[in-house]
Amino acid sequence: MRLENKVAIVTGGAMGNGLGITKVFLKEGAEVVILDYSDQLESTLLDLKKEYSTISGYQVDIRDKEAITNIVEEIYKEKGHIDILVNNAGVARLKTFLEMSDEIRDFHFDINIKGTWNVTKAVLPKMIAGNYGRIVNLSSVTGPMVADAGEVAYATTKSAILGFTKSLAREVVENNITVNAIMPGYIMTPMVEKIAKETDEQNPKSVVDGIAAGIPMKRLGTIEELGYLALFLASDESSYITGQGYVIDGGSTLPETKSVGV
């Protein structure tokens, strides 16, 4: 198994992409600790414990720096090492720039950027102490590569995560720690389902079908597919890769224009 004897922290692992990552990591032998604010955490843990004894979790808001620091310290004392960190937790609220309140803007910044910063700041000294680490951050194609109306706050934060990834990678490379980012396109997650329902409450499936129609593969990705990319970046198979962003989008960023077909 590719992650045997490895301890991994996955933020936002109770559902969506984080759950896909968690399931793949458990299958590959890792001990996984989920940090998640959602009430879904309890039922996720109960479900996963039916098959894996190596899963645990804490309900915590990653905006709470002190709570995160204390939890990471507790994990480190119990496990003796922390080898992998996946900064997956994130939010998206669609509003045009002029319609978006400062509160919703800060909601994005505080979770997507500051939350990632807080967890990484708590975990990194433990990785340095062990002279080993794999950090995987969830960026997006939105921001660094593409964007639609209403995504200014989200796109800004996901662009920031890519910059965070590259700069941090350079700082910790001498400590045998790699830092890489995953840049998803449309993956079938609760976030996508929520956006679809907000767009068309009567027929959200039509929104998802419309998204799929614009993707060369004609479908959205699965959380497990994203999980296997995270597995590669979290394993020793990627030991000579750092500071990079990896797109997983079914080819959605490939078309030069939607108005010309061959």
DSSP assigned state of 79? H
Q: Could you give the CA distance from residue 172 to residue 127 in angstroms, rounded to a whole number?
A: 10
- Do 106 and 208 lie in one domain? The reply is no
Q: Which of 58, 76, 154, 186 is catalytic?
A: 154
- Do 77 and 111 lie in one domain? The reply is yes
- Do 29 and 69 lie in one domain? The reply is yes
Domain that holds residue 205: 188-221
Amino acid 261: pLDDT: 47
- Do 161 and 130 lie in one domain? The reply is yes
The enclosing domain of 14 has a CATH number of 3.40.50.720
In a domain, 116, yes or no: yes
Task: Respond yes or no: is residue 240 known to be catalytic.
Answer: no
- Do 213 and 239 lie in one domain? The reply is no
- Do 230 and 217 lie in one domain? The reply is no
- Do 212 and 161 lie in one domain? The reply is no
Amino acid 107: pLDDT: 98
- Do 118 and 202 lie in one domain? The reply is no
Domain count, the chain: 2
In a domain, 254, yes or no: no
Distant-in-sequence, close-in-space partners of 24: CB < 8 Å, separation ≥ 6: 224, 227, 228, 230, 231
Amino acid 259: pLDDT: 56
Number of H helices, E strands in the chain: 9, 7
Contact predicate 234/8, CB 8 Å: yes
Contact predicate 250/187, CB 8 Å: no
Each of the 262 residues of the chain gets a pLDDT tens digit; together they read 999 999 999 999 999 999 999 999 999 999 999 999 999 999 999 999 999 999 999 999 999 999 999 999 999 999 999 999 999 999 999 999 999 999 999 999 999 999 999 999 999 999 999 999 999 999 999 999 999 999 999 999 999 999 999 999 999 999 999 999 999 999 999 888 888 888 888 999 999 999 999 999 999 999 999 999 999 999 999 999 999 999 999 999 999 876 544 4
- Do 113 and 201 lie in one domain? The reply is no
- Do 170 and 196 lie in one domain? The reply is no
- Do 32 and 153 lie in one domain? The reply is yes
- Do 174 and 243 lie in one domain? The reply is yes
In a domain, 161, yes or no: yes
Amino acid 258: pLDDT: 64
pTM above 0.85, yes or no: yes
